[in-house]
């Protein structure tokens, strides 16, 4: 830079006029001064060091910088860097009275022609230095939570965006962000393992098999459990890649890995899955509930059918039976929704006919049966509008006939009970197994009535659907009924009533099966050691602490005072004493309150029923669905996308599990980044 250019780049120094400045630089030619004062002088002062030599001093850290020596002027660029790059230690500590603004440096490599701009912050907002590790940590969380591809950190658009926010950001590679995501997974896993260590009951597992375009299988294993505060939880434990998903040992291998990974030996209560297995495959699964858990009804709590998949299969029967009319209605809806003018005419006709329906038309997603049901239901309520639409829009020639609409309403009558039941599984509040005893029983009874219909279409469709609900009921009725018994509003009474409706004269046999099963399971819990609860232990300790040698009762209440009396009580009452279970079953039913917290009731009564409450805790944690809430209505098998299936199995597991755990905010540990490189 030439001497004249350097002088031209100088900006007005506070406290000096233009004439004074000209006197100190006699060799410089008169130049046009900019009236606006540079903001660096809010941070610096100019002091004369010696004749012809001046230096700039930082107001905060007192560091000095070259400014002018004779006719040579250093300019202000290095002063700006001192502030903008964060090298001023005093500024980083937030010291100084005039610390309310800082400079954003201009990076010409980022493009654009805008000069540096001021960014303002309030005096109460401290200056926060850039932390590369923290930034990497947040990027890993972002990728996990929103399922972004790991390669996003190498995309030019992402790099340009981040560096426009923070020029000091260092570019990241695929391997680096992969390591950061796995580190986040391990950190969250450590927190979750610490949490489940304190779970007092057993764990129920669901298994959902996903496929991939490489014919690999991915077993999603989800744990269901009740915590010490009697709240029901659901967490994805593992995603295990199985190279041969149709083999006899695929599921048993995945479960064994989960048991080892989470130290669940002796803690399994039930398994729920819906993957077709041979008898050999079942025999590989059953020991996991028997050998590892020698109790638990000899492994009978092996639930082979997922209610969500059963209902989706039944819905497919309905959609298949009415595919022609569904296509007609879909085409009509498509005609209306694909053009704004068509939609306006449809609304105009609806208003003129004063059709009271509040539902809106929309096209269905043919991979999710609930959207097809909702499309049919909305269109059926607006059938009058479709019937008259051709008078306002001559181009519309797709109106279904009255017979078509009648058939559509029949399809909706079959789909509605399935939709209502399946919707319960999508709620944020985890439903207990009790809910589905009633839902399945109601669907079973309704289909039984439809089979006797004189309409051959209705009768044939109902028979096909009942075969599937019968299969589910046969495998799951014991579990569903045992859960109902644990509800103090119903107990065995609802089982007796509903079984009578289903089995008629054979009902007593099935009722006895449930009664025997619940008593057998209770005896298994009685055989377990029953430690003192913390509350009871405190009461006993408190009583012992208050005992004195001058006790009024003397030795009467000591260990040896009434030993013979205790023996007498046991001999005379052994035949009359009732178990907790029998006492519970004989008590009156509670009123059927709609918003009833059955787990909360057992929490309040755990001192009254110390053994039975433990059994109730485990039974009420049994899941009826192996599908994730977002997959409840799917009618196609779940498939891992091409990108995810191209990653390492360990990375796939880390991304999927960590997303689930971050959703629940399980991490209470430090945000310090665990750096891992692949």
Tens of pLDDT, residues 360-409: 888 999 999 999 999 999 999 999 988 888 888 888 888 888 999 999 99
Is there a single domain that holds both residue 359 and residue 406? yes
- pTM for this prediction: 0.72
Of all helices (H) and strands (E), which one includes residue 101? strand 101-103
Q: Whole-angstrom Cα distance, residue 635 to residue 245?
A: 20
Q: What is the pLDDT of residue 11?
A: 45
Is there a single domain that holds both residue 357 and residue 442? no
Is there a single domain that holds both residue 471 and residue 613? yes
| Confidence check: pLDDT of 23 > 70 | no
Is there a single domain that holds both residue 602 and residue 466? yes
Tell whether 242 is covered by a domain: yes
Q: What rounded mean pLDDT belongs to the chain? A: 79
More reliable by pLDDT, 98 or 343? 343
Tell whether 399 is covered by a domain: yes
The 10s digit of each residue's pLDDT in 494-521 is: 999 989 988 888 899 999 999 998 998 8
Is there a single domain that holds both residue 501 and residue 614? yes
Tell whether 21 is covered by a domain: no
Burial class (CB in 10 A: 0-12, 13-18, 19+), 172: buried
Is there a single domain that holds both residue 186 and residue 327? no
Q: Whole-angstrom Cα distance, residue 300 to residue 330?
A: 45
- CA of 496: how far to CAs of 479, 501, 503, in Å? 15, 9, 10
Burial class (CB in 10 A: 0-12, 13-18, 19+), 675: exposed
- For residue 303 the two structure tokens come to 């639930």
What is the C-alpha end-to-end distance of the chain, expressed in Å? Answer: 47
Tell whether 3 is covered by a domain: no
Burial class (CB in 10 A: 0-12, 13-18, 19+), 4: exposed
Q: How confident is the model at residue 525 (pLDDT cuts 50, 70, 90)?
A: confident
CA 383 to chain centre: 39
Three-state secondary structure call for residue 14: coil
Q: What is the pLDDT of residue 570?
A: 54
More reliable by pLDDT, 566 or 132? 132
Is there a single domain that holds both residue 412 and residue 313? yes
What share of the chain has pLDDT > 90, as a percent? Answer: 36
Tell whether 499 is covered by a domain: yes
More reliable by pLDDT, 551 or 434? 434
C-alpha dihedral sign at 325, 326, 329, 335:
negative
Q: What is the pLDDT of residue 37?
A: 62
Is there a single domain that holds both residue 283 and residue 349? no
Is there a single domain that holds both residue 606 and residue 470? yes
- For residue 221 the two structure tokens come to 């294993």
Percentages helix, strand, coil for the chain (3-state, rounded to 5) are 55, 10, 35
Q: How confident is the model at residue 13 (pLDDT cuts 50, 70, 90)?
A: very low
Residues 6+ apart with CB under 8 A from 516: none
More reliable by pLDDT, 240 or 92? 240
Is there a single domain that holds both residue 479 and residue 603? yes
Is there a single domain that holds both residue 271 and residue 364? no
Q: Where are the alpha helices (DSSP H) in 425-551?
A: 433-451, 456-485, 491-503, 507-527, 534-545
Q: What is the pLDDT of residue 614?
A: 93
What share of the chain has pLDDT > 70, as a percent? Answer: 74
- For residue 169 the two structure tokens come to 């950001």
| Confidence check: pLDDT of 557 > 70 | no
Buried b (16+ CB within 10 A) or exposed e, 648-665: eeebbbbbbbbbbbbeee
Tell whether 229 is covered by a domain: yes
Q: What is the pLDDT of residue 529?
A: 59
What is the average pLDDT across 78-89?
70
* Domain extent at residue 293: 181-301+639-665
Q: How confident is the model at residue 624 (pLDDT cuts 50, 70, 90)?
A: confident
**Contact yes or no for 264/238 (Cβ under 8 A):** no
Q: Whole-angstrom Cα distance, residue 598 to residue 204?
A: 18
Domain count across the chain: 4
Q: What is the pLDDT of residue 85?
A: 57
Q: Where are the alpha helices (DSSP H) in 25-168?
A: 77-84, 89-92, 132-146, 156-165
| Confidence check: pLDDT of 121 > 70 | no
Is there a single domain that holds both residue 512 and residue 448? yes
Three-state secondary structure call for residue 604: helix
């Amino acid at each position: 830079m030439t001497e004249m250019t350097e002088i031209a780049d100088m900006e007005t120094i506070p406290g000096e006029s233009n004439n004074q400045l000209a006197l100190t630089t006699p060799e410089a030619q008169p130049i046009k001064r900019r009236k606006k004062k540079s903001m660096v002088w809010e941070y610096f002062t100019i002091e004369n060091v010696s004749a012809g030599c001046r230096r700039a001093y930082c107001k905060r850290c007192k560091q000095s910088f070259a400014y002018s020596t004779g006719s040579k002027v250093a300019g202000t660029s290095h002063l700006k860097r001192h502030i903008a790059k964060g090298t001023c230690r005093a500024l980083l500590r937030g010291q100084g009275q005039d610390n309310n603004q800082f400079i954003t440096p201009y990076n010409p490599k980022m493009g654009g022609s805008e000069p540096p701009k001021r960014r303002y912050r309030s005096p109460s907002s401290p200056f926060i230095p850039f932390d590369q590790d923290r930034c990497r940590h947040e990027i890993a969380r972002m990728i996990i939570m929103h399922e972004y591809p790991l390669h996003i950190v190498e995309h030019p658009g992402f790099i340009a965006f981040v560096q426009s926010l923070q020029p000091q950001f260092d570019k990241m590679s695929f391997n680096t962000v992969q390591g950061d995501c796995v580190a986040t997974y391990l950190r969250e896993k450590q927190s979750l393992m610490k949490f489940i260590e304190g779970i007092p009951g057993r764990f129920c597992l669901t298994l959902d098999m996903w496929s991939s375009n490489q014919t690999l299988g991915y077993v999603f294993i989800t744990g269901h459990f009740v915590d010490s505060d009697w709240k029901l939880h659901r967490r994805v434990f593992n995603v295990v890649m199985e190279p041969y998903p149709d083999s006899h040992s695929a599921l048993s291998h995945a479960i064994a890995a989960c048991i080892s990974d989470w130290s669940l030996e002796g803690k399994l209560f039930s398994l729920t899955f819906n993957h077709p297995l041979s008898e050999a495959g079942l025999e590989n699964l059953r020991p996991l509930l028997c050998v590892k858990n020698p109790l638990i009804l000899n492994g009978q709590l092996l639930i082979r059918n997922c209610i969500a998949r059963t209902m989706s299969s039944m819905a497919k029967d309905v959609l298949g039976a009415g595919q022609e009319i569904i296509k007609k209605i879909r085409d009509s809806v498509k005609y209306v929704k694909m053009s704004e003018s068509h939609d306006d005419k449809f609304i105009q006709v609806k208003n003129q006919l004063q059709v009271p329906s509040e539902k809106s038309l929309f096209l269905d997603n043919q991979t999710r049966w609930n959207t097809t049901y909702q499309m049919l239901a909305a269109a059926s309520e607006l059938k009058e509008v479709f019937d008259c639409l051709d008078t306002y829009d001559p181009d519309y020639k797709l109106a279904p006939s009255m017979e078509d609409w009648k058939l559509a309403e029949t399809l909706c009558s079959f789909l509605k009970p399935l939709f209502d039941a399946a919707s319960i599984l999508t709620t944020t509040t985890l439903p207990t197994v009790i809910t589905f005893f009633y839902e399945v029983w109601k669907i079973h009874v309704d289909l039984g009535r439809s089979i006797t219909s004189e309409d051959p279409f209705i009768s044939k469709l109902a028979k096909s659907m009942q075969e599937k609900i019968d299969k589910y009921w046969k495998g799951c009725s014991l579990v569903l009924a045992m859960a109902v018994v644990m509800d103090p509003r119903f107990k065995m009474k609802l089982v007796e009533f509903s079984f009578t409706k289903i089995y008629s004269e054979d009902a007593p046999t099935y009722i006895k099966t449930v009664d025997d099963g619940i008593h057998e399971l209770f005896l298994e819990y009685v055989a377990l050691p029953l430690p003192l609860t913390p509350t009871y232990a405190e009461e006993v300790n408190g009583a012992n602490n208050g005992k004195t040698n001058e006790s009024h009762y003397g030795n009467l209440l000591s260990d040896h005072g009434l030993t013979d009396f205790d023996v007498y009580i046991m001999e005379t009452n052994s035949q009359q004493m009732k178990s907790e279970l029998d006492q519970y079953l004989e008590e009156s039913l509670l009123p059927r309150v709609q918003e009833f917290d059955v787990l909360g009731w057992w929490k309040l009564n755990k001192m009254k029923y110390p053994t039975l409450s433990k059994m109730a805790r485990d039974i009420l944690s049994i899941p009826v669905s192996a599908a994730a809430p977002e997959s409840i209505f799917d009618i196609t098998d779940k498939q891992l996308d091409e990108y995810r299936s191209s990653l390492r199995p360990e990375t796939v597991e880390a991304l999927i599990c960590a997303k689930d755990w971050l959703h629940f905010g399980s991490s209470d540990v430090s945000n310090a980044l665990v750096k891992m490189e692949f």
